[in-house]
């Protein structure tokens, strides 16, 4: 019997997904749908008999809740439109993969070629036109990765259902390496760098190119020179390989460049210099173990373990496909943990999203004439939230903390931060766990997923601005289960059996980066590309070499361990293959089809990149105050603040990210009876120990418009303060930096960057908190068109995310944000100043006044000496157990902090603004909403009053009121009642904005 395709349709009797999909479509602006149902479809390619197909259906449906049909449609009685959404060829289809494995697992050898493809069929009842049905399809799918097929009821009945589609990948090209002529004009070289290697001219006579190399002219000239010396032109794979290795994404050329008087550049001269200075200061108390040299940075946890941390961004892919971009982001940064040292175990995920308002429905376009529209912010938000949910939850890694920050300038390019902490034994097989070395003679082994065309040019693409030429193959979907199997096999077994000598992940640049990077450890490598497992035939050598297909790790394995390693992987359901050998030849050599297609000097590959020299140009701005009048209704101003996107509850995210898995949760994302989002989390990663890890983050992109120096200083202060508030001590805190800049080829932007980096140095050193890892993404710009085809450019505001982590010596002493008892005393710690420049309050006022472009004023400054004194005193009080609750003051100032406390504890408070320690403030709103740094609000039991005040005797603080009742009752600076707000009302304001997401 020959191979044929059969549709198996499975339908739920009652499907919660259908209801939610219906709601989502209606929210997307379409008219009401009378009814919606859906089928899971498996298109099976096999030589099965009817009976075998029936058996397969038994495996793939649940008889209690589902019905199925083979080879004929399973449609509801009444519907008007059928919309099927399936994957395009080559796109990761996890359900299809599991279905294939299930079928093969049951039938065994006879079904070894059987395959299943998953799609979803929606039936809609409602009065829609063909166009409307089509755009509903587009609402449900992403045309970059999915096919949408719409049929009217008539067509569906006439055709006897939907078409049978199996998205096999068919490539016709003969896989070989081409030579690229570099003997061309400078103009041609520039074109080569910008648009990539020319392909054969297509049937339409148009020249097409393979996508950006992101190499500038000076780099291309150096490459040309190198090959002139070698006496030949490069092959395409050589050029692509160099482009990957030299990309901004991999080499951080801007942070490495000489900038003005900073000969060593921003990274070595400021960021790493700060760490060196801190480590020097701390001497024997230095807790850094591995900084800036590996996939993650690491600090000490206890005598047995170290903790690693890494925060990545996945901005460009998330703009094109929010779900795929976000899931590959989180699953990718998990590999930075697995690829740290000898492989750490991922124990905490963290996230941070910068979006435009989901209420902004005006589209932008990548091409003229309304071509290639961007996804609306609402879809970006829900897709990203969902991607990290699936990636994190499926991997069994808790996600206890994160943030969402909104600014309209994230509309063209959202920022998606994802981070993972890992736990690693200090000693692995008698050697330090953070050290590794590939040795000459070790086999090069790649494990995990297969290489495909998905994820080509990710590294070079993210080094470029997002425009109409952005490659769709840069989009991929993660396969967290394939990675989970590999992660468990490596971290829980192979590592401790000492089977490999070095390991790294395959991220940007794929094998071209991971193998060449490890080859540095021993001095050379030879790879046989034919051995690399691929998803389908017909992929060119350069594509296999640079493919960023996810879920792959590269290992150096001593010859004697190879069979043991491969066997272990096989028993864990993980594919692993020897693809070459490390050596000390000084060359990176790649063979394909018996021919040498790449032969590069390793030193040139890694160090040949010409160093950039950059100049910045001051972008000074006089500070002027905004001159808003005091609001008539102060209480309403607070309610409006609570409802703002940057302040309101993000419960819908926290509750769908598993933060209890691994049984490590201590201070949770939602705190108190009122479930308020905290700024920091504490986890207890080792069952037998009461030591914990606190993590937090902070960013103030708004301040950057006025002053990036103080923007960075405030983020550092907040990221530290948030940790101190849950029980960390200053001396244990370490930081990570993520710069997401824009237009980094403009001298003014570089000036802003330099200022921010300078603050990173100054405040990391003053606080004694080292940077241990960082990442930058320098071109977060969108170039496109509005609906009238007018060109526009949207640059994200210069964004610096500071992430923080710390040991917590005893988690049992940690403190949550919610007040616990009526009658407890309310304290404000720290000084409030007239610092409202670019504050959330000013932004609100400016928006109300219809002009949010001109936000100005004094941004908060940080006094590190005073802050240190406060944090140290506070840690002492926490240690003594005399603080009942603590809330750091951040966006929205004191007012928002007090309101959050009321909601969290479900208690009112009586507070008197006259008592708040302040300077230069004579207005209730300025006092209440100033975002001065280094402040917290505490509640303390009356019996601990004296002890608490004694502990803080060297700091600025004041008792401003008492916990009790159901109202937040505020006495203003004039002694009158400034506001009296029901806690229920505050809670409603805080929770309503994103409730329906």
Of 812, 880, 977, 995, the one binding another protein (CB under 8 A) is 812
**What residues are paired with 614 via a beta bridge?**
259
Quick check: 38 and 25 in contact, CB under 8 A? Answer: no
Query: Site for another protein (CB under 8 A): which residue of 28, 71, 76, 396?
Result: 396
Quick one: which of 358, 480, 701, 895 contacts another protein (CB under 8 A)? 480
Q: How far is CA 764 from CA 381, 500, 697, in A?
A: 32, 36, 14
- 658 scored as a contact of another protein (CB under 8 A): yes
Nearest distance from residue 65's CB to another protein, in Å?
A: 5
Per the CB < 8 A criterion, the answer to whether 62 and 55 are in contact is no
Q: For the CB of residue 270, give the shortest distance to another protein in the complex, in Å.
A: 39
User: For the chain, what is the radius of gyration of the CA atoms?
Assistant: 29
Q: Which is nearer to another protein, 102 or 134 (CB)?
A: 102
122 strand-pairing partners: 38, 83
Interacting residue with another protein among 259, 499, 518, 811 (CB under 8 A): 811
Q: Which residue in the set 50, 65, 497, 607 belongs to the binding site for another protein (CB under 8 A)?
A: 65
Cβ contacts of 627 within 8 Å, gap of 6 or more = none
How far is the first Cα of the chain from the last one, in angstroms, to the nearest whole number? 50
Cβ neighbors of 972 (< 8 A, separation 6 or more) are: 634, 913, 914, 924, 978, 979
Toward another protein, which CB reaches closer, 575 or 584? 575
Q: Is 242 in the site for another protein (CB under 8 A)?
A: no
Q: How many residues does the chain have?
A: 997
Cβ-based nearer residue to another protein, 107 or 292: 107
Question: What's the min distance (Å) between Cβ of 726 and another protein?
Answer: 10
- DSSP code of residue 685: -
Q: Taking the CB of residue 635, how many other CB atoms lie within 10 A of it?
A: 18
In the shown chain, the binding pattern of residues 754 to 793 toward another protein, with x for contact by CB under 8 A and - for none, equals ----------------------------------------
Looking at the Cβ atoms of 737 and 818, the one nearer to another protein is 818
Q: What are phi and psi of 587, to 5 degrees?
A: -125, 155
- Whether the CB-CB separation of 460 and 214 falls below 8 Å is answered with yes
In the complex, what is the shortest distance from the CB of residue 750 to another protein, in angstroms, rounded to a whole number?
A: 43
Q: Shortest gap between Cβ of 938 and another protein (angstroms)? A: 13
- Name the segment binding another protein (CB under 8 A); options: 58-66, 267-275, 365-373, 630-638: 58-66
**C-beta neighbour count of 472 within 10 angstroms:** 15
Euclidean distance between CA atoms 380 and 364, whole angstroms: 13
Least distance CB 821 / another protein (angstroms)? 7
536 near another protein, judged by CB under 8 A: no
**Residues 424 and 496 sit within 8 Å (Cβ to Cβ):** no
Q: Is residue 649 near another protein by the rule CB under 8 A? A: no
CA-to-CA separations, 816 to 677, 830, 960, in angstroms, rounded: 11, 19, 20
Q: Looking at beta carbons only, is 54 or 595 nearer to another protein?
A: 54
H or E element in which residue 245 lies: helix 236-246
Task: Indicate whether 815 belongs to the interface with another protein (CB under 8 A).
Answer: yes
Nearest approach, Cβ of residue 324 and another protein (Å): 15
Q: What secondary structure letter does DSSP report for 646?
A: T
Site string for another protein, 896-935 (x = CB under 8 A): ----------------------------------------
- Taking the complex as a whole, the smallest distance from the CB of residue 95 to another protein amounts, in Å, to 4
Residue 95 or 184 with smaller CB distance to another protein: 95
Stretch of 129-137, 650-658, 746-754, 785-793 lying at the interface with another protein (CB under 8 A): 650-658
Cβ pair 150, 82 in contact under 8 A: yes
Binding of another protein at residue 991 (CB under 8 A)? no
Q: Which of residues 928-957 bind another protein (CB under 8 A)?
A: 941, 943
Least gap, CB of 687 to another protein (angstroms):
5
**Whose Cβ is closer to another protein: residue 18's or residue 256's?**
18
CB-wise, 371 or 573, nearer to another protein? 573
Q: Of these, 473, 718, 744, 816, which contacts another protein (CB under 8 A)?
A: 816
β-pair partners for 734: 805
- From the list 149-157, 590-598, 773-781, 815-823, the region that binds another protein by CB under 8 A is 815-823
Backbone dihedral angles phi then psi of residue 364, each to the nearest 5 degrees:
-120, 165
- Shortest Cβ 942–another protein spacing (Å): 10
Contact set for another protein, span 556-575 (CB under 8 A): 571-573
| Binding track, positions 79-108, relative to another protein; x by CB under 8 A | ---------------xx-xxx-xx--xx--
Q: Return d(Cα 45, Cα 544) in angstroms, integer.
A: 26
Give the nearer residue to another protein in terms of CB position, either 57 or 602: 57
Q: How far is the CB of 331 from another protein (least distance, A)?
A: 12
Q: Determine, following the binding rule CB under 8 A, whether residue 657 of this chain makes contact with another protein.
A: yes
Question: Which residue number, 485 or 935, has a Cβ lying nearer to another protein?
Answer: 485
Q: What is the dihedral of CA 389, 395, 396, 397, to 10 degrees?
A: -70
Provide φ and ψ at 752, rounded to 5°: -60, -40
Smallest distance, another protein to C-beta of residue 505, A: 19
Q: Smallest gap, in angstroms, from Cβ of residue 880 to another protein?
A: 11
Residues linked to residue 225 through DSSP beta bridges, in sequence order: none
Per-position b or e across 723-735, b if 16+ CB within 10 A of its CB:
bbbbbbbbebbbb
Q: Which residue among 147, 153, 820, 866 contacts another protein (CB under 8 A)?
A: 820
- From the CB of 818, what's the least distance to another protein, in Å? 7
The candidate with the shortest Cα–Cα distance to 607, out of 253, 179, 233, is 253
Give residues 862-881 in contact with another protein (rule: CB under 8 A). Answer: 881
Contact indicator for 344, 424 with CB cutoff of 8 Å: yes
- Please name the residue ranges forming H helices in 768-892: 840-848, 864-879
CA distance 135 to 149: 11
For the bound state, the minimum distance from the C-beta of residue 812 to another protein, rounded and expressed in Å, comes to: 6
**Which DSSP symbol is given to 933?**
S
CA distances from 25 to 141, 443, 910 (A): 11, 52, 45
Which of 621, 461, 464 shows the shortest CA–CA distance to 546? 461
Tell me the C-alpha distance between 859 and 838, whole Å: 7
- The footprint of another protein (CB under 8 A) covers 12, 14-17, 19-21, 59-66, 94-95, 97-99, 101-102, 105-106, 389, 393-396, 479-481, 484-485, 488, 571-573, 655-663, 665-668, 671-673, 684, 687, 811-812, 814-816, 818, 820-821, 881, 884-885, 941, 943
């Amino acid at each position: 019997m020959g191979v044929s395709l059969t549709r198996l349709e499975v339908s739920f009797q009652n499907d919660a997904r259908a209801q939610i999909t219906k709601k989502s479509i209606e929210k997307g602006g379409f008219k009401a749908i009378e009814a919606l149902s859906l089928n899971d479809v498996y298109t099976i390619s096999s030589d099965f008999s009817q009976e075998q197909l029936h058996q397969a259906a038994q495996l793939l449906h649940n008889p209690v809740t589902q019905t199925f049909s083979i080879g004929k449609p399973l449609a509801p009685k009444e519907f008007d439109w059928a919309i099927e959404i399936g994957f395009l060829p080559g796109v990761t289809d996890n359900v299809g993969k599991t279905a294939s494995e299930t079928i093969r697992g049951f039938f065994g050898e006879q079904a070894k070629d059987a395959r299943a493809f998953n799609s979803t069929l929606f039936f809609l009842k409602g009065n829609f036109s063909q166009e409307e049905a089509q755009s509903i399809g587009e609402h449900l799918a992403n045309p970059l990765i999915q096919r949408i097929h719409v049929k009217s009821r008539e067509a569906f009945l006439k055709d006897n259902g939907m078409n049978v589609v199996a998205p096999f990948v068919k490539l016709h090209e003969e896989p070989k390496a081409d030579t690229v002529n570099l003997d061309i004009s400078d103009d041609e070289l520039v074109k080569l760098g910008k648009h990539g290697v020319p392909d054969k001219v297509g049937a339409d006579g148009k020249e097409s190119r393979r996508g950006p190399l992101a190499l500038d002219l000076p780099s291309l000239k150096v490459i040309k020179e190198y090959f002139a010396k070698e006496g030949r032109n490069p092959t395409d794979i050589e050029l692509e390989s160099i482009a990957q290795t030299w990309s901004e994404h991999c080499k951080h050329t801007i942070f490495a460049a000489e900038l003005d008087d900073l000969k060593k550049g921003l990274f070595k001269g400021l960021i790493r210099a700060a760490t060196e200075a801190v480590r020097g200061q701390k001497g024997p108390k230095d807790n850094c173990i591995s900084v800036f040299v590996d996939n993650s940075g690491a600090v000490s946890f206890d005598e047995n373990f170290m903790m690693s941390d890494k925060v990545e961004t996945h901005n460009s892919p998330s703009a094109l496909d929010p779900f795929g971009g976000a899931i590959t982001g989180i699953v990718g940064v998990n590999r930075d943990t697995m690829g740290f040292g000898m492989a750490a175990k991922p124990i905490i995920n963290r996230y941070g999203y910068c979006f435009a308002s989901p209420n902004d429905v005006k589209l932008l376009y990548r091409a003229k004439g309304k071509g290639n529209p961007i996804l609306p912010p609402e879809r970006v938000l829900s897709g990203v939230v969902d991607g990290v949910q699936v990636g994190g939850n499926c991997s069994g890694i808790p996600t206890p903390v994160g943030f969402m920050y909104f600014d309209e300038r994230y509309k063209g390019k959202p920022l998606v931060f994802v981070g993972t902490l890992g736990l690693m034994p200090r000693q692995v097989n008698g050697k330090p766990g953070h050290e590794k070395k590939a040795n000459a003679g070790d086999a090069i082994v790649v494990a995990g997923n297969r290489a495909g065309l998905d994820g080509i040019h990710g590294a070079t693409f993210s080094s470029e601005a997002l425009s109409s030429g952005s490659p769709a193959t840069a989009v991929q979907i993660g396969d967290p289960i394939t990675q989970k199997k590999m992660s468990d096999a490596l971290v829980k077994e192979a590592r401790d059996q000492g089977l490999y000598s070095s390991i790294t992940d395959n991220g940007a640049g794929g094998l071209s980066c991971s193998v060449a990077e490890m080859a540095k450890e021993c001095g050379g490598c030879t790879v046989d590309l034919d051995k690399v497992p691929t998803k389908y035939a017909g992929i060119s050598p350069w594509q296999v070499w640079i493919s960023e297909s996810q879920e792959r790790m590269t290992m150096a394995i001593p010859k004697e361990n190879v069979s043991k390693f491969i066997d272990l992987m096989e028993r864990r359901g993980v594919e692993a293959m020897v693809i070459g050998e490390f050596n000390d030849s000084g060359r990176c050599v790649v063979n394909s089809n018996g021919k040498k297609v790449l032969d590069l000097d390793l030193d040139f590959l890694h160090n040949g990149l010409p160093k950039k020299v950059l100049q910045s140009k001051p972008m000074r701005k006089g500070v002027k105050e905004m001159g808003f009048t005091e609001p008539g209704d102060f209480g309403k101003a607070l309610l409006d603040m609570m409802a703002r996107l940057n302040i309101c509850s993000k419960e819908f995210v926290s509750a769908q990210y598993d933060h209890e898995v691994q049984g490590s949760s201590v201070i949770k994302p939602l705190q108190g009876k009122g479930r308020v989002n905290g700024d920091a989390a504490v986890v207890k990663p080792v069952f037998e120990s009461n030591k914990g890890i606190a993590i937090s983050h902070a960013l103030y992109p708004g301040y950057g418009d006025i002053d990036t120096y103080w923007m960075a200083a405030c983020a550092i202060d907040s990221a530290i303060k948030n940790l101190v508030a849950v029980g960390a001590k200053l001396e244990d805190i370490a930081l990570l930096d993520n710069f997401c800049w824009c237009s980094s080829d403009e001298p003014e932007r570089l000036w802003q960057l330099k200022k921010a980096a300078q603050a990173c140095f100054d405040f990391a050193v003053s606080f004694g908190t080292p940077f241990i890892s960082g990442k930058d993404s320098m071109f977060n710009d969108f170039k496109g068109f509005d609906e009238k085809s007018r060109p526009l450019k949207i640059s994200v505001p210069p964004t610096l995310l500071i992430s923080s982590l710390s040991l917590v010596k005893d988690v049992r002493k940690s403190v949550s944000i919610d007040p616990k008892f009526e009658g407890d005393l309310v304290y404000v710690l720290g000084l409030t100043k007239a610092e409202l420049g670019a504050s959330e309050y000013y932004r609100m006022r400016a928006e109300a006044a219809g002009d949010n472009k001109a936000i100005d004023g004094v941004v908060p400054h940080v006094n590190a000496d005073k802050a240190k004194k406060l944090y140290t005193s506070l840690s002492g009080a926490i240690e003594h157990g005399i603080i009942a609750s603590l809330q750091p003051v951040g966006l929205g100032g004191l007012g928002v902090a007090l309101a959050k406390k009321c909601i969290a504890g479900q208690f009112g408070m009586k507070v008197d603004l006259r008592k708040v320690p302040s300077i230069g403030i004579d207005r209730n709103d300025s006092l209440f909403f100033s975002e001065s740094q280094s402040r917290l609000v505490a509640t303390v039991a009356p019996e601990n009053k004296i002890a608490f005040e004694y502990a803080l005797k060297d700091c600025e603080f004041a008792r401003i009121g008492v916990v009790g009742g159901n109202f937040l009752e505020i006495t203003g600076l004039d002694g009158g009642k400034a506001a009296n707000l029901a806690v229920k009302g505050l809670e409603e304001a805080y929770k309503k904005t994103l409730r329906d997401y």
